[in-house]
Amino acid sequence: MAENTANLSLLSDLTPPSLERTWLTAPHPTLPIVATCSSDKTVRVYSLTNFKLLSTISGGHKRSVRTCAWKPHIQGESVLATGSFDATVGIWRRWDSYGREEGGAGEWGLSAAADNGALSRENREDNEEEEEEEEWRFAVLLDGHDSEVKSVSWSPSGMLLATCSRDKSIWIWEDLDDGDNNFETVAVMQEHEGDVKCVSWHPVEECLASASYDDTIRLWREDIDDWGQVACLKGHEGSIWFIDWEGVENVPSSAGDNDITSWKELHALSGPRLASCSDDRTVRIWRRQPKEQQQSTFGTTPGMPSIIRPTGTDEIWEQEAVLPQTHVLSIYAVAWSKRTGLLASVGADGRIVIYKERFVATPDGSHQAMDTYPQSSSSPSIRTEWVVIATMDGAHGIYEINHISWAKRADRGREEGKEEEVLVTTADDGGIKVWTFER
């Protein structure tokens, strides 16, 4: 099944770990830090420079914190949304200038003195304890879901927040940005027939994807002043646990100039693809059919109100590929690197799998790769395949791995000037592990 051409190795654990299950780790969009959600009702913020705990966010939720997401495109402040099994969503704020005055060099308490061990552990712990309340401000609690919140996601602009729940609903909230931490509910969608496990915004458009226990992925857009479903993707044969978008500039490897040109033309028409993973132990790739082909197929009338549009025919999304099946149990998370185009997946079998997409000239008949046929392409010569390039069994011992994410490498051992990434895994053992990846 695998073409093992890469090496995955443990760089460090984030310490101290949680004593209870950890659900998800969200890398900050600009700072070398991550936030990890835990069953102990807290979120821990760790440094990716020295792999140590910087602060613990607590007191806002009454049950497990299942999910979190950093708000993009804000200066001088970090804003974190958290979703909990207590059916609420919390918004937390913190000034990024905190900790600069005393140490001078770093952010988030990563001062030169503390980072080099000049301050004793006791002093650092005392400082953390005294400054905990100043560090994070609990801004607002968003209340509306009837049961556990499973996922939160900020839109590309940072003005909209999507949340989803076991109650089968998706809520979209607008940050009014009025200085008083006010949020307004702009939409509630209830078309899913099962728990909604994940929501994820398109990287550049205000298009929301959602994944559910009902084995479907649904796409949502605003039309005039109402949000509605524009596509329903079917293909998985089990609950869909997670979805992630491709990077806007991604190009598969092993490409010639003609391949790259044709690929970019197709990409410009259809936009980034979507990856999904499921209880059916598969990872699948979905591509939107270019709009001109959709209109010729369905004769869509521009401006038709969403309430009378044929459900699921606004946008045509095709299943483009099923990746080589390497997991033996449910796949809980998939992460698409925005830097390299590599995909990573983890799940109940405790295994990490890394996949690479590459151009191929002709089919080789191999069962180790899954061929992709972009049927909507004007250039039928474009053909890619996915191969497994690395696996790691028992990455967290006997424990299930709940989440995986790519993050910019920020430790002292990195080579300056190189665009490197690490993988961060989050598991039932309470641990958060940072992995290096070399090809």
Please provide the CATH number assigned to the domain covering 7-97+134-295+312-359+379-438: 2.130.10.10
What is the 8-class DSSP label of residue 368?
S
Q: What residues have CB less than 8 Å from 201, skipping those under 6 apart?
A: 153, 154, 155, 156, 160, 162, 207, 208, 209, 245
Q: What is the largest CA-CA distance in the chain?
A: 70
Q: Is residue 259's pLDDT more than 90?
A: no
Q: Give residue 97's pLDDT.
A: 65
> Comparing 223 with 154, which gets the higher pLDDT?
154
**Rounded CA gap, 310 and 307, in Å?**
9
Contact 231, 243 (CB under 8 A): no
**Token pair 């004007």 is at which residue?**
378
pTM of the model: 0.85
Q: What is the pLDDT averaged over residues 266-275?
A: 92
Closest-CA residue to 96 (of 78, 116, 110): 78
Buried b (16+ CB within 10 A) or exposed e, 220-252: bbbeeeebbbbbbbebbeebbbbbbbbeeebeb
Cα torsion angle, 141, 143, 148, 149, sign: negative
The C-alpha atoms of residue 141 and residue 61 are separated, in whole angstroms, by 9
Over range 1-27, report the average pLDDT: 88
Contacts of residue 161, Cβ cutoff 8 Å, sequence gap at least 6: 81, 89, 142, 152, 153, 154, 155, 172, 173, 174, 175, 183
Predicted local confidence at residue 122, as pLDDT: 45
Average pLDDT, the chain: 83
Q: How far apart are CA 376 and CA 193, in angstroms?
A: 30
Q: Tell me if the bond preceding 16 is cis, omega within 30° of 0.
A: yes
Indicate the domain borders of the chain.
Answer: 7-97+134-295+312-359+379-438
Residues whose CB falls within 8 Å of the CB of residue 190, separated by 6 or more in sequence, listed in order: 168, 169, 170
Are 333 and 346 in contact by the 8 Å Cβ rule? The answer is yes
pLDDT at 112 over 60: no
**CA–CA dist 316, 175 (Å, integer):** 31
pLDDT score, position 314: 80
In this prediction, residues 51-63 reach a mean pLDDT of 92
- Evaluate if residue 39 carries a pLDDT over 50: yes
Mean pLDDT over 3-27 rounds to: 91
Between CA 299 and CA 25 the distance in angstroms is: 44
Helix then strand count (H, E) for the chain reads: 5, 29
66-104 pLDDT, tens digit per residue, is 999 999 988 889 999 999 999 999 999 998 864 444 333
Distance between start and end Cα atoms, the chain: 18
CB 146 within 8 A of CB 152: no
CB 54 within 8 A of CB 47: yes
Within 10 A of 339 (CB to CB), how many other CB atoms are there? 13
Provide the token pair at 23: 């659900």
Say if residue 408's pLDDT is above 50: yes
